[in-house]
Structure 1
């Protein structure tokens, strides 16, 4: 499939796909060449890029992803450890947000909002 088709299916700009190729985020196994030396991508590239997008959304860096993709980059145990660390970071962020939400409810319960200004009675 052409790069434009991949970009449309996975909802990424063509420039991002090219950048991922340059950075080694897209391994050669997903790229074929036709008789004119144009790139063609295997169907499996869609799932691969979907995983990359999800990793970026949860806070992994391009270099983290590159290391996890590389055959010599990280062991399965290292990958598992890094993913568990990311889960812990997300859980910590959730606790902070939950505390913030509770603090906002507490402010509402104090009934300190009024037309005269915040905190004035």
Structure 2
């Protein structure tokens, strides 16, 4: 059985995000008339398909993907080319980037720790 349409605040609460987040995805072109219906009063109606789309966007963002990466993901999803292999490639690329960032942060951390130790030895 399909869930009835929901208003933006209901969808945001369901997904654990703010209404601003939902509006942001719309401004970025990740949600459009294919996903959102408008009531005569201008309120947005979110059905099952739009909720699933938002779940994908929110999950990708929580995985650390940039908006650009999410747009690539959404485009492939829309074109029907979002294969498991493509998802794995995107996630592996993200993981490699995170590993690089972690290494860079460890280098900076070591430099800051060394400076702290140097200063403390001068007391």
How much does 1:39 deviate?
A: 4.0
State the TM-score, normalized to the length of structure 2. Answer: 0.60
Is the 1:67–1:74 Cα contact (8 Å) retained in structure 2? no
Is the 1:25–1:66 Cα contact (8 Å) retained in structure 2? yes
Aligned to 2:93: 85
**RMSD, matched Cα:** 3.5
Aligned to 1:117: none
Number of matched pairs: 113
C-alpha separation in 1, matches of 2:114 and 2:89: 37
Aligned to 1:11: 17
Give the 3 Å change call, closer, same or farther, for CA 27–104 of structure 1 in structure 2: same
Q: Report SS of the residue matched to 2:66.
A: coil
Give the 3 Å change call, closer, same or farther, for CA 47–107 of structure 1 in structure 2: farther
Structure number with higher relative contact order (C-alpha < 8 Å, ≥ 6 residues apart): 2
1:90-105 paired onto structure 2 within 5 Å: 90-105=98-113
Is the 2:8–2:45 Cα contact (8 Å) retained in structure 1? yes
Q: Which structure has the larger Rg over C-alpha atoms?
A: 1
How much does 1:33 deviate?
A: 6.8
